[in-house]
Amino acid sequence: MTSDINTKPSGQSELSRPWVHRSWCINLALILLIIGFLANLCFLYFHCPFDLSEDESHYWDWSRHLDWGYYSKGPGIAAIIHLAVVVGQWFGQQHASMPVVRTPAVIFSFISGLVGVVLSRRIFRDDRVSLMLIVLSAGMPIFAIGSLLITIDSPMYCAWALATLSIWLAIEPEWNESTVPPFVSLVPARPFWLYAAGLFTGLGMLVKPVLLFIPFCVMFAAISNRFMRRRFSTRHAVGAMILTLLLQVPTLIWNAQHNWVMFRHIGGQGGLADSGGLIRHLTQMPLNVLVFMLSQVGILIGIFFVLLIVAIIHAFRICRLKPDSYEALGWSFLLSFSLPIFAFYFILSFWTKVEPNWPAAGYFTAMIILAGFALERWNESTKVSGYYRRAIVSGVAIGFTGLILFENINHLYPIFGARYAQELVRLDPTSRLYGLRQRALYIDKVRDQMAAMGGPKPLVIATRWDTASSLAFYLPDQPDVFCIESLLGQRESQFDIWPGLNRVDPDTGKLYYFGANAVLTGSINLAAFNKLIKPAFQRIVSLPPIPLVYKDVVLKNLDVWECWGFKGFPQTTTTASY
């Protein structure tokens, strides 16, 4: 157990400095967190205009087929969504719905916020930092978006936060300890919190492998600060790492049984499986690096990006000038759990395209760095502090305005849609979250028309993995939808692990779906259509493009075919990518 420092005994070093207690700051921070939690739930269940994204639908599709591993990730996200659906059924939700599936994201966001409040106040020993952290986070649309979408990032971020807090609680100095060598008053490390960190790290890796960074961050922390190096010098740190690895054993076994597909996919995303050659990587490098940097500037609303850079420089300066102080200990810890992640993905951007959300884990401690620095500058009585105050207020105002616009931009469609339809769809980042339910209803109408001509309700086939899962979620009967993306020579997916349309019935030795009718939708070039689709069915009817309309704006046109009498897809030598 760690002791709360309320008083500073006489003669103690800076390590024993007292807390700055402002109970109203903690209370207000918690009230804001609770308001945000309830507001997100109300938004999801009563006002959310966003359909379940195709990525979210894909993870939901996984949750219907629980396993120890999947094509691109571990079993964590599927288990979370499966549990959410089961709990929803307890409350009368017989079918998976968008709010039910997304509810865990709201819960994970709330937990992450609580952990941030606890960690920030314990590191800086100042209740005011917690309130600053919540206010700054409210001005970051990326956190609000992450609290609404059930992607792998929301549970990953929560697990990272819990692991980081546990590590700090494991090494946090007691009131009578000194950070100055020879550490004569150093008490043993706290094994409970080390093993808790190992547990949270292992569970987080089952959602997203980025938590592999945790041991490396611990290593950087130990290198950067002598007190932390001494604190981590315990057999329990090794035991915690062993616990993390043991939690990965079932997923590793699953991968070994499936040709290490998850690792091949991750390697493909990182450009390791790219045979395009060094020249192509070098020519794309400037653009990739620029896009990555601009994406991080955008995530931090520009103003906060600049403030974070200044805060990091300030933290480095403290660590250099007062390396054995408690202040340096806190800054070193925070830097060690953020900078290695940003540095890795910055270097990776020299080789391949890095998605904006990949370094998301680093923002947990980066935001605490920003909050601690912002509070220091806010409380200063200098001319420069006025500029910092205006920058902080402006950043929060801009971010919060952007969030309101993001959640309500759909209301602009009827106003500007008629004249600037295509431009609006192209510029609106939320346009991909509209019309997905309507698309499924269009496809189901075609299925009903075909069924009315005789026979059971047709199968549904899509040319992309994300389209297939989205259709499966929003079709009224939520059937298994098939994907032929890899047959078209594009990328493989989870659908290549599950049984496909060419599945053979072991009892009869014939195709399980022989003679079945199907609705095909998606983009496919003429050559591939003639080579793959035509030989697979007795008769194919091409339907006129179906406009997908949202608030009088045409989002896209759907290509749909009626496919009658399945005969089996021909063998193809086309190689798909990971």
Residue 322 lies in a domain: yes
Residue-by-residue DSSP string for 284-353: HHHHHHHHHHHHHHHHTTTHHHHHHHHHHHHHHHHHHHSTTSHHHHHHHHHHHTTHHHHHHHHHHTTTS-
Residue 227 sits in the same domain as residue 81? yes
Q: What is the pLDDT of residue 274?
A: 59
Give the DSSP H/E element, type plus range, for residue 459.
strand 459-462
Q: Which of 367, 388, 406 is the last residue of a domain?
A: 406
Residue 577 lies in a domain: no
Q: Using one digit for the tens of pLDDT, what is the confidence trace for 78-88?
A: 999 999 999 99
**Range 73-100 average pLDDT:** 93
Query: Which are the contacts of 141, defined by CB distance < 8 A and separation ≥ 6?
Result: 301, 399, 402, 403, 406
Nearest to 189, CA basis, from 150, 237, 225, 117:
237
Residue 427 lies in a domain: no
Angle, in degrees to the nearest 10, between helices 213-224 and 153-171: 30
Other C-beta atoms within 10 Å of 74: how many? 27
Sole residue written with tokens 């989205």: 470
Residue 113 lies in a domain: yes
Q: How far apart are the first and last CA of the chain?
A: 47
Q: Using one digit for the tens of pLDDT, what is the confidence trace for 217-260?
A: 999 999 999 889 888 988 999 999 999 999 999 999 999 999 99
Q: Which of 406, 427, 450 is the last residue of a domain?
A: 406
Residue 363 sits in the same domain as residue 479? no
Residue 81 sits in the same domain as residue 227? yes
Instruction: Count structural domains, the chain.
Output: 2
Sole residue written with tokens 């004569």: 184
Measured CA to CA, the distance from residue 96 to residue 94 in angstroms comes to: 7
Residue that wins the pLDDT comparison between 239 and 431: 239
Residue 389 sits in the same domain as residue 495? no
- Whole domain around residue 514: which residue ranges? 435-566
Q: Specify the DSSP class assigned to residue 576.
A: P
Indicate the pairing of strand 560-566 with strand 482-483.
Answer: unpaired
Other C-beta atoms within 10 Å of 308: how many? 21
Residue 243 sits in the same domain as residue 359? yes
Residue 393 sits in the same domain as residue 441? no
Residue that wins the pLDDT comparison between 571 and 439: 439
Mean predicted lDDT score pLDDT of the chain: 88
Residue 247 sits in the same domain as residue 326? yes
**Range 524-543 average pLDDT:** 92
Q: Has residue 216 got a pLDDT over 70?
A: yes
Give the DSSP H/E element, type plus range, for residue 537.
strand 537-542
Q: What is the pLDDT of residue 9?
A: 38
Residue that wins the pLDDT comparison between 474 and 384: 474
pTM of the model: 0.92
Distance of CA 507 to the CA centre of its chain: 43
Measured CA to CA, the distance from residue 110 to residue 134 in angstroms comes to: 11
Residue 426 lies in a domain: no
Residue 202 lies in a domain: yes
Residue 119 sits in the same domain as residue 222? yes
Q: Which of 406, 425, 455 is the last residue of a domain?
A: 406
Q: How many helices (H) and strands (E) does the chain have?
A: 23, 7
Residue 340 sits in the same domain as residue 461? no
Q: Dig out the tokens for 357 from the structure.
A: 């959300």
**Range 302-330 average pLDDT:** 92
Residue 177 sits in the same domain as residue 302? yes
Q: Has residue 398 got a pLDDT over 70?
A: yes
Residue 396 sits in the same domain as residue 449? no
Residue 415 lies in a domain: no
Residue 331 sits in the same domain as residue 447? no
Residue 448 lies in a domain: yes
**Range 537-544 average pLDDT:** 94
pLDDT bin (cut points 50, 70, 90) of residue 303 is very high
Residue that wins the pLDDT comparison between 548 and 247: 247
